[in-house]
Amino acid sequence: MNVTAAAGSETALEPSCSIVIPVYNEEDVVGTLLDEIRKFTSTWRADYELLLVDDGSSDRTADIIGAQFATWSQGHLIRLSRNCGQAAALYYGMRRARGQIVILLDGDGQNDPQDIQKILAPLNEVDMAVGIRIERQDSFVRRAMSRLANAIRSRILGDGVVDTGCGIKAFHRRVIDAFIPMQTLYSFIPALAVRAGFTIRQVPVRHRPRRGGKSKYGVRQFLWKPLLDMAGVWWFARRRCPLATEKSGGMAHKNNV
């Protein structure tokens, strides 16, 4: 997978937070989403970086992002050479993130950037916070498929998360080591974190109607692919190494293996 970095220069200083957003053909909504994020982050005193991973868009998505980042030093556009899928874009963005806290958002505008503060609040006590969409603004069929997939996944993998499809999440960077590069990673981020020994808290967040573009997910993406991959995640979760504890100078340090 060839990658091109553009629009924004990276600094030597490590930011406190990294916001990672995968996008694919979102020219109708990405400009408004960036306006909202810029307004929200303008109140932040802490340093941050904003990474948008363009998953081989064929429309004006990259041009719109590039124009905004030309005057936004924290913004970095990462362009994948071809469409690799949301999971690949998300995984690559998380690996590129330099912040001690990593925040995930969907690129379709249905997550409200104002909820970032809610999702960050529990991280003094837990390793990861995941959003739960309240008053979902999706069709009945989409909501029904999501409920079924979440119920099956939660029952088999035991992560206790009721809405793994919610795009807004935040976690300490060390949690990234729990993830594996798989096509349905999006559905199993909480489960993989829990099985690695990390703690999770669920946080109610807003959900907005899609304001443009179209969803890239149907029955196959909601049900069949995750169901097939769930068998692999179930096996991996039970065979993975536990968190190892290292003694050093009288202090115990945990490292994920």
Structure tokens at 55: 């998953």
Q: Give the pairing of strands 200-205 and 128-133.
A: parallel
Residues 6+ apart with CB under 8 A from 39: none
pLDDT digits (tens, 9 = 90+) for 223-232: 566 666 776 6
Q: What tens digit of pLDDT does each residue of 230-257 get?
A: 766 766 676 676 666 577 665 445 554 4
pLDDT of residue 66: 97
The full set of domain ranges for the chain reads: 3-255
21, 80, 85, 158, 178 from 217: Cα distances, Å:
17, 20, 11, 25, 25
Percent of the chain clearing pLDDT 70 (strictly above): 71
**pLDDT for the residue numbered 257:** 41
Question: Whole-angstrom Cα distance, residue 193 to residue 177?
Answer: 9
Highest mean pLDDT, choosing among 96-100, 176-180, 184-188, 210-214: 96-100
> Distances in Å between the alpha carbon of 20 and those of 94, 98, 125, 227?
7, 11, 22, 26
3-255: in CATH 3.20.20.120: no
Residue 211, pLDDT score? 72
Distance CA 155, CA 148 (A): 11
pLDDT at residue 222 tops 60: no
What is the model's pLDDT at position 216? 52
Q: Which of 93-107, 126-140, 202-216 has the highest mean pLDDT?
A: 93-107
Report the relative pairing of strands 17-23 and 101-104 from DSSP bridges: parallel
Residues 133 and 111: their CA atoms lie apart, in Å, by 9
d(CA 245, CA 205): 35
Whether pTM exceeds 0.85 = no
What is the C-alpha end-to-end distance of the chain, expressed in Å? 26
Query: Which run of H or of E encompasses 9?
Result: none
- pLDDT at 244 (0 to 100): 64
Using alpha carbons, list the distances in angstroms from residue 181 to 48, 71, 119, 184.
25, 33, 24, 9
What whole-number distance in Å separates Cα of residue 3 and Cα of residue 38?
25
| pLDDT tens, position by position, 112-162 | 999 999 999 999 999 999 999 887 655 555 655 666 666 666 666 667 788
